[in-house]
Amino acid sequence: MYVLNLATRRQFGLLLGAGLVSPLAPKPLLAHDGPHRLEVEISKFRFSPATLTLRQGDSVIWTNRDIAPHSATHTDGDWDTGEIPKDGSAEIRFDTVGKFAYFCVFHPAMKAEIIVESQ
């Protein structure tokens, strides 16, 4: 009986250690401590970074460093910064998890993507 009990307690302890059980165990701290604003620079007809990964609720700010106007326009039409003039910026908040390809309506060869991960 004692041995069984010890085994059970040890097992429970291991599960606790792995953070799998018990409402008594403290929740692990989230690495993501609130919404962030991430930047994409548009320069020399390129989005940089071309792939940006963020968390649900984060925003992206595109800034145009070219003389030509650009846009960041979702390929499926769900969102669009509209025209961003030279030295202008536009911000969009992402609340939906997924992978979003986008391009510039003025220069359709300019392509990039946003990856939104869950909180």
The stretch among 4-12, 32-40, 48-56, 106-114 that binds Cu ion (CB under 5 A) is 106-114
* Residue in 70, 73, 90, 94 binding Cu ion, rule: CB under 5 A: 70
Tell me the pairing of strands 98-103 and 73-74.
antiparallel
Q: Are 92 and 59 a contacting pair, CB within 8 Å?
A: yes
- Cβ nearer to Cu ion, comparing 32 with 107: 107
Residue 106 C-beta: closest distance to Cu ion, Å = 4
Q: Is 107 in the site for Cu ion (CB under 5 A)?
A: yes
Which amino acid, 118? S
- Cβ nearer to Cu ion, comparing 60 with 110: 110
CA 17/CA 11 separation, integer angstroms: 10
* Residue in 46, 106, 113, 117 binding Cu ion, rule: CB under 5 A: 106
Q: In the chain, which ranges are continuous DSSP H helix?
A: 2-17
Q: Is 111 in the site for Cu ion (CB under 5 A)?
A: no
- Cβ nearer to Cu ion, comparing 56 with 89: 89
CA 86/CA 58 separation, integer angstroms: 24
CA 69/CA 107 separation, integer angstroms: 9
Which residues bind to Cu ion, rule: CB under 5 A? 70, 104, 106-107, 110
